Amino acid sequence: MSTNTNEIKALVSLLDDEDSEIISHISQKIMSLGMPVVPFLEKEWQTHPSVLVQDRIENLIRNLHYDGIKTDMKQWVAENQDDLLEGLWILNRYRYPNIQLKDLKKSIDDIFYEIWLSHRTYAPVYEQIQHLNDIFFNRWKFKRNNENPQNPDNSMLSWVLDTHKSNPIGLCVIYMLIAQRLRMPVYGVNFPNIFILMHQSEENQIYINVFEGGLVFYKTDIDEYLKKSRIPKNEKFYNSCSHKDILIRMCRNLLNSYETSGEKKNQKDMQQLLNILM
């Protein structure tokens, strides 16, 4: 970045102007410098005596982070949809901008290696699932977030890994990432009302309700549920969905959370991310 510290200070010093057009021009100039300017802004925020300027700096930092998220999400959609963890990390930065991908990988690795030590690849499918359930729910204490199901953090992987609680899809993505590391053919299913997983092999196709402690069920159970709920059958309720579908569903959950809490700016941001994904 060619802009030096003194130039940043000069730009920041103009943020106390009362003219909205000047503030808009200066803000656009700072935004054009991109993410490399963030450390300078953070330092200025810590030392600047004006609360008004601090608020404007904070807004600039937030917008710069969000622009970075949009850029990275576009690149993920275009080039790297096979890497679910990277997509989850990009979304995670919306609420936790300083989270590092390597930290998320380490947290997943810690759980995986504990399961891997005693995992039997050639054991019957049901036995493999029960073993994964035992360590995931009993050893690591992952559970449903009944206290605050609308909490946006339910869709933030770092928060779920820290607290070990979430909504259905928040639990499912961690379970799925670990299962796939164990070479289990486990994938997400865009089921109505609750996100579930499926274990798909040549021999059988079974489903896993992670939100209910890893409960195993079958196609006939899905048939019965849809019938009782008066929901028309749809192939997507029986088959695996894409990583992009998972991100879309998580963004829709976030959008719903922000609509419930009346956070207009967050609603707008999440709709833009949905537009990128769709």
Beta-carbon contacts of residue 238 (< 8 Å; ≥ 6 apart):
189, 219, 222
Bridge-based pairing state of the strands 165-166 and 143-144: parallel
pLDDT above 70 for 2: no
Domain boundary assignment for the chain: 5-79, 84-277
- State the pLDDT at residue 20: 79
Specify the pLDDT at position 9: 78
Q: Residue 6 above 70 pLDDT? A: yes
Share of the chain above pLDDT 90, in %: 70
Count of residues making up the chain: 278
pLDDT tens-digit readout, 85-144: 999 999 999 999 999 999 999 999 999 999 999 998 889 999 999 999 999 999 999 999
Q: How many Cβ atoms from other residues are within 10 Å of residue 220's Cβ? A: 8
CA count, 13 A, side-chain hemisphere, 231 = 15
How far is 174 from 161, CA to CA, in rounded Å?
Answer: 8
Q: In angstroms, rounded to a whole number, what is the distance separating the alpha carbons of residues 197 and 190?
A: 9
- Match 């399961």 to its residue by tokens: 115
3-state secondary structure (DSSP) of residue 115: helix
If you average pLDDT over residues 228-250, what whole number do you get?
Answer: 95
Structure tokens at 224: 């019965």
Model pLDDT, residue 229: 93
Q: What is the pLDDT of residues 157-179, one digit of tens each?
A: 999 999 999 999 999 999 999 99
Categorise residue 76: left if φ over 0, alpha if ψ from -120 to 50, beta otherwise. alpha
Q: Report yes or no: 123 and 131 within 8 Å, Cβ to Cβ.
A: yes
Write down the pTM of the prediction: 0.89
Amino acid at 203: E
What is the Cα–Cα distance from 191 to 237, expressed in whole angstroms? 5
Mean pLDDT of 36-42: 83
What crossing angle do the helices spanning 20-31 and 51-79 adopt, rounded to 10°? 40
In this prediction, residue 1 carries a pLDDT of 42
29-39: average pLDDT? 81
- From 50-59, 147-156, 184-193, 255-264, the region with the lowest mean pLDDT: 50-59
If you write DSSP's letter for every residue of 120-134 in order, what string do you get? -TTS-HHHHHHHHHI
Looking at residue 122, its pLDDT comes to 87
Give the model confidence (pLDDT) of 255-264 as tens digits.
999 999 999 9
Integer CA distances (angstroms), 131 to 135, 137, 149, in order:
7, 10, 27
CB neighbour list of residue 9: distance below 8 Å, 6 or more residues apart: 44
Q: Residue 3 above 60 pLDDT?
A: no
Which DSSP symbol is given to 154? Answer: G
Between 102 and 5, residue with greater pLDDT = 102
